Amino acid sequence: MIIEPRMRGFICLTAHPEGCAQSVKNQIEYVKSKGKINAPKRVLVVGASTGFGLASRITAAFGNDAATIGVFFEKEPAPGKTATPGWYNSAAFEQEAKKAGLYAKSINGDAFSKEVKQQTIDMIKADLGQVDLIIYSLASPVRMHPETGVLHRSALKPIGQTFTDKTVDFHTGNVTQVSIEPAVQEDIDNTVVVMGGEDWKMWTDAMKKAGVLADGATTVAYSYIGPEVTSAVYRKGTIGQAKNHLEATAFEITDSLKDIGGKAYVSVNKALVTQASSAIPVIPLYISLLYKTMKAKGLHEGCIEQMQRLFADRLYNGGEVPLDAEGRIRIDDWEMRDDIQEAVKTLWAQADTETLKEIGDLAGYKNDFLNLFGFGFQGVDYLADANEMVQIESIS
């Protein structure tokens, strides 16, 4: 069928299989163009189908020929109905890995569950024996707790007081004021349960117990800090509490892996257009001003550039892993540079529906958003019939 983007608020209801494949191929080409990285050979990626997790998987596989297992939660296609983009991304990734002679298998299910953890452990045991690196890159609005069966829902709210500032509807370019009521304690608690570190530690505990963590195994999860203008809704809001918890959990995991010489890191990544970030108020306006500023200075990066740099310059640079005062890896270093943040702050004060066309990179935002769903890629014939029924080889 001919597949077109069908937008509904912050999501797109359709995805283009060939466009998603093109996106994966472009990312593979980028990693290959940067040369070999002396990184681990057996890698598990939890949250492997889109965004930073997919880029991590591609970097591991095509940066150093790693065998990868990817875990994700995506919707498969049905006749006349496309799959979610992560499904098509993963199908394309497996195909490219196979062509390159690389082991790649995937598990589609709820990573928060005991069953999916066990399934993953069984697959590692059967195929790889152990893994040397676990990337933890889940972004989810809900988590069914595996012990209590309670379904927790995260919130994106300020804490303590109502937040009022500008936001943009990135489809129309309209800049308006948004007000968000403060969280109640339950919102904070739920957000920490969903996006904090508890599940990350459950993964490493279960894997260690099963003996599938190699000596010296490393695990990395992703965090965000960002500027003053987004802090009320992000770092000082409910999601920030979850990120504080995630960051604290890294030290707990490192402690628990002492006897095998293992280590847990949090990497603070750059703000980028992903399915997760486009749903957060205020962030799209910030990103459109940030993109404009960083592109003008030649400092712009997408997920793949960020993950390639994380592996090559931070985790596997041949020496110490550089950390900040709180023990975190920082690849948001260019975003947080004083000159970038000063420029964005000035633009923020000027931003309205009229000025944004000039001072913001709304076109870049929209293009990245379309790209998430496989639309807007050069070399893809969007007027041609596409096969929506693409399968993932290791799953079907």
Residues forming the active site: 234
Sort strands 131-136 and 213-223 into parallel, antiparallel or unpaired.
parallel
Residue 45's binding partner out of ligand NAD, Na ion, none, with CB under 5 to 8 Å set by partner kind = none
| Residue 128 annotated as lining a ligand binding site | no
Complex with ligand NAD: residue 22 or 306, whichever CB lies closer? 306
| Residue 209 annotated as lining a ligand binding site | no
Complex with ligand NAD: residue 109 or 173, whichever CB lies closer? 109
Complex with ligand NAD: residue 272 or 380, whichever CB lies closer? 272
| Residue 52 annotated as lining a ligand binding site | yes
| Residue 231 annotated as lining a ligand binding site | no
For ligand NAD, the binding residues (CB under 6 A) are 47-53, 71-74, 86, 110-112, 137-140, 222-224, 269, 271-272, 274-277
| Residue 51 annotated as lining a ligand binding site | yes
**Which residue's Cβ has the minimum distance to ligand NAD?**
51
Distance in Å, CB of 280 to ligand NAD, minimum: 9
Complex with ligand NAD: residue 51 or 158, whichever CB lies closer? 51
Binder among 68, 82, 90, 137 for Na ion (CB under 5 A): 137
Q: How far is it, in rounded angstroms, from Cα 314 to Cα 222?
A: 14
| Residue 326 annotated as lining a ligand binding site | no
Residue 274's binding partner out of Na ion, ligand NAD, none, with CB under 5 to 8 Å set by partner kind = ligand NAD
Q: For residue 85, state whether it binds Na ion (rule: CB under 5 A).
A: no
Q: How far is it, in rounded angstroms, from Cα 301 to Cα 34?
A: 14
Number of residues lying near Na ion (CB under 5 A): 5
Q: For residue 51, state whether it binds Na ion (rule: CB under 5 A).
A: yes
Complex with ligand NAD: residue 224 or 311, whichever CB lies closer? 224
CB 95 within 8 A of CB 393: yes
Binding site for Na ion (CB under 5 A): 47, 51-53, 137
Residues annotated within the binding site for substrate are 224
Residues annotated within the binding site for NAD(+) are 47-52, 73-74, 110-111, 138-139, 243, 272-274
